[in-house]
Amino acid sequence: MGLPKTYDSFEFIQAGSEVITVNMLKGVGIAGKRAMTSTSSPGFSLMQEGISYAACEEIPFVILNVMRGGPGLGNIGATQGDYRQAIGSGGHGDYRNIVLTPGNIEEMYDFTIKAFDLAFKYRMIAVVLADGKLGQAKEGPVLLKEKDEIEINNYNVDEWAHDNNQNRGPRVSTSSYLKEDLMEKHNLYLQEKYKLIEKNETDTFEAYKIDDADIVCIAYGSVSGVTKEAVDACREEGVKAGLIRPKMVWPFPSKILQELADSTKAFLTLELSVGQMHRDVRLAIEGRKPTELIEHMGGVIHTPEEIYNKIIGMEKHYR
């Protein structure tokens, strides 16, 4: 319980580049210690090679990516354009990252703690995926936890970490599988692990006024706040809107969407990217109900009015 002695101290290190950063994270992680970095979009792109290696070698660490306007240099406005990249399409090969999506400053803190736990629970990279608005916002005080309120679980770290234990043989961490059947076997093992996580981790979304909802919105991060405002405004008008807010986008809360497809009339995705999350919504619904999308990109964020009007319109159209 409480902070183990080793976590009483921490160190900030300035790395030489993003390529080096991700390899330093690998080094700390394989030693069974906790390390994280924070970056913003272009820096995250530079880490993709190392991410693919770490995913293969099951090395746990945490990356906070505060997404900004892009592609390219862009600006420091709020976007969600790194969604697919974060969940595991940024690097080569088939792998997944756990991706937590805080919706406010408090969650920026809480989800980072949770990210470390999940990273070590599953020997995965956990990405905290925020947007430029969250990255720059100031909110009322965040309740920092007392040291003994944080439970740090090292899980089975002793079984795999390259630690100082002299009473065991050498341990090797590698992503080199020259024999193709062994590489496939390892990939099958990884996919099994990913399926297990999809099954185990159920606290992946917040459900807001969905029980009788005709129009179910899906939005995360900064967009979820304005969407709630729009949902509330609709409810005041008697229009039954609701919201599924993913707290993780991998594993993605597909199951709740599939269940809601029975009762709701239509789905509305709100995101700051060109349908990147909407594709996961559509894959969940698979044509059973209409799915619509309002997307922004480049740092512009939806207004509550814009969403409100869309919901009202959809409610009439799909009545």
Could you tell me if 242 and 216 are in contact, meaning their C-beta atoms sit under 8 angstroms apart? Answer: yes
Which of 297, 307, 311, 314 binds a copy of itself (CB under 8 A)? It is 297
294 binds a copy of itself (CB under 8 A): no
According to CB under 8 A, which one of 145, 147, 171, 185 is a site residue for a copy of itself? 185
Residue count, binding to a copy of itself (CB under 8 A): 77
* Binder among 52, 204, 224, 269 for a copy of itself (CB under 8 A): 52
* Alpha carbon separation from 285 to 189, 201, 289, 301 (Å, rounded): 28, 20, 7, 26
Q: Tokens at residue 15, please?
A: 């790395």
Classified as helix, coil or strand, 124 is coil
- Binding of residue 141 to a copy of itself (CB under 8 A): no
Name the segment binding a copy of itself (CB under 8 A); options: 98-106, 117-125, 248-256, 290-298. 290-298
Q: Is 15 in the site for a copy of itself (CB under 8 A)?
A: yes
Rule CB under 8 A: choose which of 146, 148, 159, 181 binds a copy of itself: 181
Query: Which lies closer to a copy of itself via its Cβ, residue 46 or residue 113?
Result: 46
Does residue 300 interact with a copy of itself by CB under 8 A? Answer: yes
73 closest CA partner among 45, 31, 52, 107 = 45
Burial of 169 (0-12, 13-18, 19+ CB in 10 A): exposed
Q: What is the identity of the amino acid at 216?
A: V
| Cis amide linkage into residue 290, ω under 30° from 0 | no
Name every residue whose Cβ is closer than 8 Å to that of residue 210 and which is 6 or more positions away in sequence. Answer: 216, 242, 243, 244, 260, 264
The nearer residue to a copy of itself, 26 or 240, going by C-beta atoms, is 26
The answer to whether residue 290 forms part of the interface with a copy of itself (CB under 8 A) is no
| By CB under 8 A, residue 85 contacts a copy of itself | yes
SS3 call for 145: coil
* Min separation Cβ 136 and a copy of itself, Å: 13
- Give every CB contact of residue 208 below 8 A, 6+ residues apart in sequence: 228, 231, 242, 243, 244, 245
Q: Which of 2, 6, 20, 237 binds a copy of itself (CB under 8 A)?
A: 20
Q: Which of residues 258-277 bind a copy of itself (CB under 8 A)?
A: 273-274, 276
